[in-house]
């Protein structure tokens, strides 16, 4: 599991969101805005619904509260065996009126990061680290295919000094079943300068990109997209007027936003990565007449063929 948000949704809010979606009252296309971001799912409930009651590895890309929202509840509800962090030394925020985020999430994160959570092994991981159950198996050969390409120690040190923690975000390349998937946290320009200088082949021509900083424009360079050329990009939650649509549109790159699709499930079966979305209205707009659904009832948008050996 990489990051968490909406983990503190109340039972009432979650039930209301679920009923609104079941009744077809959420996700209709009104003026081009499906507004699915207004009806989030509590991640712990999603995991429970697919039979997951423990987490082998939780990776915190960086310690901003929108990536820690519900961490305390998650730790209480599901056993987490391993926790990754990059060494960011962010001061504790002032939680007086802090966008509704909970202080107990920060406190639990600090406890886990310090290695004081019984039953959880805490690991500080940086670019280039090679170890078992990430990119090596028991025999020192290829393992799970999780390659950390950022941050470096220098990026973390600079983030700690400037207290701008986006450029100490993890960037992870995950290779599986002939697909290359790139997770990017909130990585900003300095991170991508490092990646393009040192890891071009690792990220070039990827199949799936989880957009950095939720896909927000953020006054940044998008030149790295000319190297990655993702076949599909997932944008996280952000106001539409803040998203960098143009950076993808002018390059002819396909994208899906959380606000359009709601939850997105990628199911790899053989050499195909099937793409399922929670919002029927959006699925119909993308793939009219599609009838295939996954076990949760999410409707297919189609699939990607594996492109890497």
Contact indicator for 276, 300 with CB cutoff of 8 Å: yes
Within a domain: 4: no
d(CA 158, CA 139) in angstroms, rounded, equals 36
84's CB contacts (< 8 A; 6+ apart) are: 57, 58, 59, 60, 123, 124, 125, 170
Structure tokens at 16: 């209301």
Q: What pLDDT score does 33 carry? A: 81
Give tens-digit pLDDT for 2-47: 999 999 999 999 999 989 988 888 888 766 689 999 999 999 999 9
In this prediction, residue 244 has a pLDDT band, given cuts at 50, 70 and 90, of confident
Of 169, 2, 4, residue with least CA distance to 72: 4
Within a domain: 36: yes
Q: What is the mean pLDDT of residues 261-287?
A: 95
Count Cα neighbours of 87 within 13 Å in the Cβ-side half-sphere: 16
Compute, in degrees rounded to 10, the torsion defined by CA atoms 153, 155, 158, 160.
-70
Q: What is the mean pLDDT of residues 52-71?
A: 97
Percent of the chain with pLDDT over 90: 81
Within a domain: 3: no
In this prediction, residue 309 has a pLDDT band, given cuts at 50, 70 and 90, of low
Q: What is the DSSP string of 114-126?
A: TT-STT-EEEE--
d(CA 176, CA 182) in angstroms, rounded, equals 11
d(CA 115, CA 123) in angstroms, rounded, equals 9
Within a domain: 2: no
Percent of the chain with pLDDT over 70: 98
Q: What is the mean pLDDT of the chain?
A: 93
Within a domain: 101: yes
H/E stretch holding 135: none
Give tens-digit pLDDT for 125-170: 999 999 998 998 888 777 779 999 999 999 999 999 999 999 999 9
Question: Has this prediction a pTM greater than 0.75?
Answer: yes
- Three-class SS of residue 15? helix
Q: What pLDDT score does 238 carry? A: 73
Within a domain: 5: no
Within a domain: 6: no
Q: What pLDDT score does 23 carry? A: 82
Q: What pLDDT score does 29 carry? A: 79
DSSP annotation of 243 reads B
Q: In what order do the strands lie in the sheet with 79-85?
A: 54-59, 79-85, 121-124
Contact indicator for 265, 208 with CB cutoff of 8 Å: no
CATH number at residue 177: 3.60.15
Range of the domain at 23: 11-305
Query: Considering its fold, how many domains does the chain have in total?
Result: 1
131's CB contacts (< 8 A; 6+ apart) are: none
Higher pLDDT, 22 or 291: 291
For the cut 90, the answer to whether the pLDDT of residue 274 exceeds it is yes
Within a domain: 85: yes
Give tens-digit pLDDT for 163-195: 999 999 999 999 999 999 999 999 999 999 999
């Amino acid at each position: 599991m990489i990051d968490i948000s909406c983990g503190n949704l109340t039972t009432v809010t979650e039930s209301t969101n679920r009923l609104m979606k079941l009744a077809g009252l959420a996700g209709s296309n009104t003026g081009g805005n499906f507004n699915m971001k207004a009806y989030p799912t509590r991640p712990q409930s999603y995991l429970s619904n697919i039979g997951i009651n423990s987490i082998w590895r939780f990776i915190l890309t960086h310690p901003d509260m929108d990536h820690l929202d519900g961490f305390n509840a998650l730790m209480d509800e599901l056993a987490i065996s391993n926790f990754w962090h990059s060494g960011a030394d962010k001061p504790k925020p002032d939680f007086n009126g802090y966008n509704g985020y909970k202080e107990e999430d920060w406190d639990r994160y600090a406890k886990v990061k310090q290695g004081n959570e019984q039953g959880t092994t805490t690991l500080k991981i940086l670019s280039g680290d090679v170890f078992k159950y990430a990119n090596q198996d028991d025999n020192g050969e290829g393992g799970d295919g999780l390659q950390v390409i950022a941050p470096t120690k220098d990026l973390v040190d600079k983030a700690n000094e400037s207290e701008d923690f986006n450029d100490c975000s993890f960037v992870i390349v995950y290779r599986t079943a002939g697909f290359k998937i790139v997770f990017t946290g909130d990585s900003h320009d300095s991170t991508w300068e490092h990646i393009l200088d040192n890891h071009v082949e690792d990220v070039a021509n990827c199949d799936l990109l989880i957009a950095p900083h939720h896909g927000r424009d953020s006054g940044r360079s998008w030149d790295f997209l000319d190297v990655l050329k993702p076949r599909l990009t997932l944008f996280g939650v952000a106001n539409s007027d803040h998203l960098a649509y143009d950076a993808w549109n002018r390059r002819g790159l396909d994208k899906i936003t959380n606000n359009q699709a709601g939850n997105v499930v990628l199911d790899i079966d053989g050499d195909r990565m099937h793409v399922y979305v929670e919002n029927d209205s959006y699925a119909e707009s993308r793939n009219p007449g599609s009838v295939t659904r996954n076990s949760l009832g999410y409707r297919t948008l189609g699939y990607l063929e594996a492109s890497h050996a």
